[in-house]
Structure formats: C-alpha cells, structure tokens
Amino acid sequence: MLSNRLFPACPRAFMLASLLTLGAAASPAQSLPAEVTAALAKARVPSDALTVLVTDVDGRIPPRLAHRAGAAVNPASIMKLVTTYAAIEHLGVGWTWRTPVYLDGPIQGDVLQGNVYIRGQGDPKLVVERLWLLLRRLQGLGIRSIQGDIVLDHSAFEAVATDPAAFDGEPLRPYNAAPDALLLNYKSFALTLVPDARNGVAQVHLEPPLWGVRVPRSVPLAAAAECGDWRTALKADFSDPSQIRLGGVFAAGCGEKVWPVAYADPASFAARAVEGLWRQTGGQLTGRVRDGNVPAALVPTFELVSPALPEVIRDINKYSNNVMAQQLFLTLSLNARGNGTLAGSRELVRAWWKERFGDAETPVLDNGAGLSRTERISAQALGRLLQAAWASPQMPELVSSLPVTGVDGTLRRSKARAGGAAHLKTGSLRDVTGVAGYVHAASGRRYVLVAIVNHPGAAVARPAIEALIDWAQRD
C-alpha cells in the first residue's frame, strides 16, 4: 500500500467518494434531457451507448443526472485524468525531470579526451530547444571537440513496442510516438516552408537538423492565392529515413507553414538529432553517437532540469498528448522503484486508487494515456476522482490543465453554447467519444460532468455531448 503521508487529503476524499456513491445509488432512474435524446436520435446512436453523470462538485446532494453512471466503458483519452491526478498526488506539483550528463575523460584545451553520456530519465518535454540548451551547457565547459562518442542511455524505461498506425492510421503524427526514457522532440521533426516570391520557390527548413538526412532546400512556388490542401500538394515522401522527398509545389497564398512529422526510423532519431545539432552549433566529434549505458562509477557533470509538472500536465490534457502521458505514467514506477515499466505503474496507480477511493470501481489500466482498447472506467468513478480533485489543495493545477470550451486545446472548436464555461478533458478513439471535467453553471454552481459514448457512431454523437454541456450550464 502507498503511505498515507503521501496523500493528506485522503479522509475528505473518502467522504466525498462515499457521498457520491450513496447519492448515485439512491437516485431514481433519470431521463436524459430532451435535446440530448434528440441529438442521439439524429446520430442514430441509442441512449444505452451513453454514460452520463452530472453532479455537484462537493457531492453533498444526489446527482442532478445519472444515466448508466456505473457502467465501465472505454474512456479513450479521458483516462489521462487518472494518470495526471495520480501524478500530482504521487510526485507533487514541484516535480521536475532531471537529465544527467557525464564525462569519462579529461578536458585538454577545448578537447574532451573521452565519451559524453546522456542518461534519459523520462523527461516528456526534452524538445529541440532544450536539447540545444543541453549541448550548449556542454560547450560551456569549454568543449568544442569530443575525442570519443556521445552515448545515449535509454535504460530507465522498459522498451514499449507500439504500432504508430494502430489507432488512427496516422503513423507520421508525433502524438503516436512510443515512450522512451530519452525522448527527444517526440522522435519528430518539423518542416518549415516559407514562400520566396522573388525566386519562385518556397524555402524548406528542417528542425532539428538530422545527421545523415538529406532534405531539399526549396520546392517550386505555385502562384495560387488559395492555400488549400498544401500537404497533399507537396507530394511528400517520408518513408526513406535518409532522405525527405518533396515532389510537388507550395502555394504562395499559404504563407509560412510548419509541418510536424514523426520520423520514419524512430530508433535512430535521437542519435541523428544529437549529432546534427552538436555539429550545427560548431561541435566536432571523432567518434559517433550511439546507444549504451552509463558506467556505474561515473557521477554527473551537470543536469538539465525540465519544466515543473503542472506545465507538463497542461500539455498532456489540453492537447491530449499521448506520448507525454505515457512518459508520465512510466515515471511513476521509475520514481518509486528505479525502473519505469507499464506493469509497475499500473500496480502503483491501482494501489493509489484503492487507498484514495476504496476497492470499488478500480479503473482498468493499460498505458495511462487512453490510447488503448482495454482501458475501462465508469462515469461514477471519474466523478469520484473529479470531486476529490476539486476538494484538494492541488485543484487549480488540474483544472487549469483542462481544455476550455470554445477557447483552447482540444475544445477550441467546440460548438457548445457554454463557451468558456466548462473545463473538460476530451477523449476520442474509433467508436469512442466523450468529455469529463467541470462546468460553471449560470446559477453560480459548479458541476462535475462526465459523458462518454461507446458506439460505432460515436464520432457523430458529439452534438449530443455538446447539448449536455449546455444543459448542465443552464441550471
């Protein structure tokens, strides 16, 4: 069991959970609002494909609406609420990831006579700008040339095999990358295209620079004023890890565009990015960049420190970043046991849940990101978590991480009339759509709202969920 010392808010959370359970159990069967039923009918989705809970954040009265609230369903990315709130309580809001760098030889003049080791510790936000800072720190020690190798240590996490095309057929989307203890820039690059009308081309820039990868410096510029489907017009081929091909044109009307792309050979991405950026910043290397483990006797020369946990969970929840969520999930077992494994993190989160909420309705966990066909949780269980979070000192950190209807994140294009009145985590997979979070109602009350559809027509049932959000807001 996890220590009570880690969870000082447990007694109040147990009280809230008990009240919610009793309220839901005592509540008679409730009819869905007419506008929700009408939207479901229009989408040809039966009402029993929807699970709903709308209840006060403090749990002092029976739920305003409970429809199949005890049914365990696939929540898709809504499961990130469990991972991020467990992390807030287990790691603390001041948590940061540290990436240590080691040297195994002396510096003579501006030459390191030995190897550089970089040990990954699961940092979810080791993007290109921060990799640049790490290499500049190395050069700040006076090193311009490395008479040895740069060794990348990925051993803090178990290797997690994933198929990046498994869920949405989009293997080149950065959010489908697999977790990695030394995750650099989500194993992805960005192509920036800038129109150059004078020369009749669009200039092409690759970031980060990838060692050994050829990329065209420009593509022909089309005179079209309308941008249209500019990605298709480029006729890009990313299948060859050593060469990016652009066989089409770029419309002048597009202006500057940035295209994030997952690298075709993710296993070699970190080495190519480190060497490319090291050499671009003026560094020399006589050896190579390779994978390996840090020798036990070495001590860190310096560490690169990540942004704090609240900034990371904002990225995870507002933009539903799957790989960052998996990094955080694996960090739980890495921090507790010295090795990040899916099995270890599942066990830790289950133990946390039971200590926090009791044995009933324990979520079925897979990778903690919701990118799974096996994860399950009920609306009632999510309601317990959201009520406990609202009552906790860390409430502002979780709420501020959630997308705001009609304003930002994955809800920026929401058509709910309650624009700006709801903070809700979204979830979407094939056959799954839903939201869970908080609604600020016209009366001044705040509600926990959970609504999830599991059905082949889930994608077209979103108007029903938006109608529910509006109904909850108009109390």
C-alpha 46: how far from its chain's center? 31
**Cα–Cα distance, 330 to 295 (Å, whole number):** 23
pLDDT of residue 17: 44
Quick one: pLDDT at residue 302? 98
Given a cut of 50, the residues of the chain with pLDDT beneath it are 1-29
CATH annotation of 98-162+266-305 = 3.50.80.20
Q: Do residues 134 and 120 make contact, with C-beta atoms less than 8 angstroms apart?
A: no
Q: In this predicted structure, what is the pLDDT of residue 214? A: 97
- Whole-number pLDDT of residue 413: 93
Q: How far apart are CA 128 and CA 110, in angstroms?
A: 25
Would you call the peptide bond into 208 cis, given omega within 30 degrees of 0 as the criterion?
Answer: yes
Angstrom distance (rounded) from CA 290 to CA 105: 17
Which residues touch 473 (CB under 8 Å, ≥6 apart)? 417, 418, 421, 422, 439, 440, 441, 442
Task: For the chain, give every residue range classified as CATH 3.50.80.20.
Answer: 98-162+266-305
Q: What is the structure's pLDDT at 59?
A: 87
Give backbone dihedrals phi and psi of 13, rounded to 5 degrees, phi first: -65, -40
- Select the CATH number that applies to the domain covering 4-94+308-473 from these four: 3.40.710.10, 3.40.50.2300, 3.40.50.150, 3.30.1950.10: 3.40.710.10
Q: Please, what sign has the CA dihedral across residues 156, 162, 168, 172?
A: positive
Task: Dig out the tokens for 344 from the structure.
Answer: 């270890």
In the chain, the N- to C-terminal Cα span, in Å, equals 41
CB atoms under 10 Å from CB of 252, counted, come to: 18
φ, ψ for residue 315 (rounded to 5)?
A: -65, -40
Instruction: Report which secondary-structure segment, H or E, holds 284.
Output: strand 284-285
Q: Amino acid identity, residue 150?
A: I
- Residue 381: CB atoms within 10 A of its CB come to 26
pLDDT at 160: 81
Structure tokens at 116: 């550089």
pLDDT for the residue 223: 87
Locate CATH 3.40.710.10 in the chain. Answer: 4-94+308-473
pTM to 2 decimal places: 0.92
Closest by CA position to 210, among listed 241, 180, 253: 241
